Each structure stands twice: as C-alpha cells, then as structure tokens.
Amino acid sequence: MLVLITYDVNTETAAGKSRLRKVAKQCTNYGRRVQNSVFECILDQTQCITLKEILSDIIDENVDSLRFYYLGNKYQTKVEHLGVDRGTAVDGALIF
C-alpha cells in the first residue's frame, strides 16, 4: 500500500536537528522524498508497523509530529502531481 508520511520536527535545539536527520534517514530507507518533510512509501503491513515504531521512538511527542496517510493499493487515481518531480516513482523499477 502507498503510505504518505509527513513530519514536523522542532529544530530549535541540537537534539531537534538530530531527530530531524534521523527521521529523514529512516523515511529514506523505506520510500522516496517528494517534498522536504514528505515521503511516499510502498509498504506492506509489517513494514508499516515497523517504520511507525521506529519513527515514534525518534520523535519527541511534546514538540514534534508525524502524520501517516494510508492511500492503499489503488493509489494511482488518488495522487495528482503538478510541477517538478523528484526522482524515480516510488513503485518504479531501479536498474543498477
């Protein structure tokens, strides 16, 4: 299923800047960045639960926030894009 993950991490402190980098790195491990604090991830149920646990352990719930949008398996009709695209489609093939 396609999961859109957005986050807002308070970066007023060094600890906040560190949390921001950690959240971004974990999201990069599971999907692709489509905007500064927005990632598209194709996940199965287990991966989704795992990533949510990892991210919730990183953030400070008193000052940071995470949002998960579950767009399902038929997400192609639910996503519209205008403007510059960032990289390869999340479900596209990668050739090394």
- C-alpha–C-alpha distance, residues 34 and 95, integer Å: 20
Q: What is the pLDDT of residues 39-71, one digit of tens each?
A: 999 999 999 999 999 999 999 999 999 999 998
Query: Amino acid letter at 89?
Result: A
pLDDT at 74 over 80: no
CA end-to-end distance (rounded Å), the chain:
25
pTM more than 0.85: no
Which amino acid is it at 84? V
The 10s digit of each residue's pLDDT in 22-45 is: 999 999 999 999 999 999 999 999
**Whose structure tokens read 């991966």?**
47
pLDDT band (50, 70, 90) for residue 77: low
Confidence of residue 94 (pLDDT cuts 50, 70, 90): very low
pLDDT confidence band for 93 (50 / 70 / 90): low
Please give the angle made by the CA atoms of 40, 41 and 45, to the nearest 5 degrees. 145
Q: What region does 8 belong to: left with phi over 0, alpha with psi -120 to 50, or beta?
A: beta
